[in-house]
Amino acid sequence: VHTGVLQAILTSTQEGPGGIGAISYSPDGRWLLSLQDDRTVTVWDVDTQSATFGEIIQQWMYTDYGYLHTVLFGADNQSAYVTSDNGTVLMINVFTGDIIREFGGADAVVVAIDLSPDNRHLLGGTISGALIEWDVETGQETRQFTGQPERMVGLRYSPDGHYVFVGSLSHATTMYELATGKPIRHFAGIGVLISPDGRYLFNSSDLANVNQWRIDTLPELLDWTRANRYVRDLTCEERAQYRIEPLCEAGG
């Protein structure tokens, strides 16, 4: 990232249609997951200090769930979440291939997922515009709301876990209040990336530009405005008109 130098090209020797459709880094930065078009999940070693850097560590195929759409590494660096054609989200162990848990209830394909900041909930967005949140430990649905008019292309929790940002093909990013499911604000552009402090949203308006948006809540914006706005001194006439003390002395 700092030098722009290409460190490695990861290449699978697997035969057949294996184009990569989605990738996800492990939180510790050691592993990379990729989804192939042939329903294969591949684990790569991307630790530059490792003797197996750039090599495939494991590969697992899941043929009973249709096309696999997106993947997200879990916080423990061992589990991952994979979305499938039948609306199910799979929680898998990336090193054994075992399916740990299935998250159901979606009426359409889940095309975007994210973990809550405390890693207790999984949020999924469907091709039909529904947002579904599940309990990670039980797999049970905790809330669901609809209203996103266009197909989602990405979603992110806010760092405090109170809001979710959803990007769509209509080149709009919508901020929802998670507790109520109500849209709070709209931002022009496609894609969703939130700064770690939760103050800024980054998206793109076209292939050449990246937008940076402030996403403070209304109370925060009002507090900032009160603290930073410029208030000029009142004239003597204005003080006298509105009886604002101290009044000017005669001839002042």
Is 20-216 a CATH 2.130.10.10 domain?
Answer: yes
Q: How far apart are CA 72 and CA 18, in angstroms?
A: 19
Question: Which amino acid, 120?
Answer: R
What's the pLDDT tens digit per position in 8-40? Answer: 677 665 554 457 888 999 999 999 999 888 889
72 is written with which tokens? 């997200």
Give the Cβ contact number of residue 72 at 10 Å: 21
Q: What share of the chain is helix, strand, coil (3-state, %, to 5)?
A: 5, 45, 50
Number of H helices, E strands in the chain: 2, 19
Question: Which amino acid, 10?
Answer: L
* pLDDT attached to residue 16: 46
Q: Is the dihedral angle over the CA atoms 216, 221, 227, 233 positive or is it negative?
A: positive
Cis peptide before 246 (omega within 30 of 0): yes
Helix or strand holding residue 219 (H, E): helix 218-228
Is residue 38 a contact partner of residue 18, using CB atoms and an 8 Å limit? yes
pLDDT of 221 over the 80 cut: no
pLDDT of 183 over the 80 cut: yes
What's the pLDDT tens digit per position in 65-90? Answer: 888 889 999 999 999 999 988 889 99
* pLDDT attached to residue 4: 57
* pLDDT attached to residue 87: 87
Q: How far apart are CA 218 and CA 171, in angstroms?
A: 24
Query: Residue 177: helix, strand or coil by DSSP?
Result: strand
Is residue 44 a contact partner of residue 56, using CB atoms and an 8 Å limit? yes
* pLDDT attached to residue 12: 61
What's the pLDDT tens digit per position in 140-172? Answer: 999 988 766 667 888 999 999 999 999 888 788
